[in-house]
């Protein structure tokens, strides 16, 4: 456990950041799961509607430092490709 005042403050800050990051990651994963299920199911139109919101959420995750830029680009690319292929089928 932290014994210095500055270490105690740093610990409190890390817990706050951890909580915020966990919330953001959870939200992001949930949205990605929803869009994947819609695209793999028979609901291509719903997946098409959810795509812009999900991409926006991915971009916000980059700004918050929750997601690396390259990982975000990979997510966006794969989701877009999945939605496009489900719309064709």
Q: What confidence tens digit (pLDDT) does each residue in 43-82 have? A: 889 999 999 999 999 999 999 999 999 999 999 999 999 9
Average pLDDT taken over every residue of the chain: 94
Distance CA 76, CA 60 (A): 13
Q: How confident is the model at residue 87 (pLDDT cuts 50, 70, 90)?
A: confident
Q: What pTM does this model have?
A: 0.84
Write out pLDDT tens, residues 20-39: 999 999 999 999 999 999 99
DSSP string, 63-89: HHTSS-HHHHHHHHHHHHHHHHHHHH-
Residue 41's pLDDT is: 86
> Which CATH fold topology does 5-88 show?
Methane Monooxygenase Hydroxylase; Chain G, domain 1 (1.20.58)
- End-to-end distance of the chain based on CA atoms, in angstroms? 57
Q: Could you give the percent of the chain with pLDDT greater than 90?
A: 88
pLDDT at 89: 66
């Amino acid at each position: 456990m932290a014994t210095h005042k500055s270490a105690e403050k740093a610990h409190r800050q890390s817990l706050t950041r951890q909580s915020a990051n966990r919330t953001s990651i959870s939200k992001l994963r949930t949205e990605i799961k929803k869009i994947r299920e819609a695209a793999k199911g028979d609901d291509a139109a719903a997946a098409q509607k959810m795509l812009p919101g999900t991409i926006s959420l991915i971009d916000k995750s980059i700004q918050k430092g929750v997601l690396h830029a390259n990982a975000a680009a990979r997510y966006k690319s794969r989701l877009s490709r999945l939605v496009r292929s489900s719309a064709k089928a």
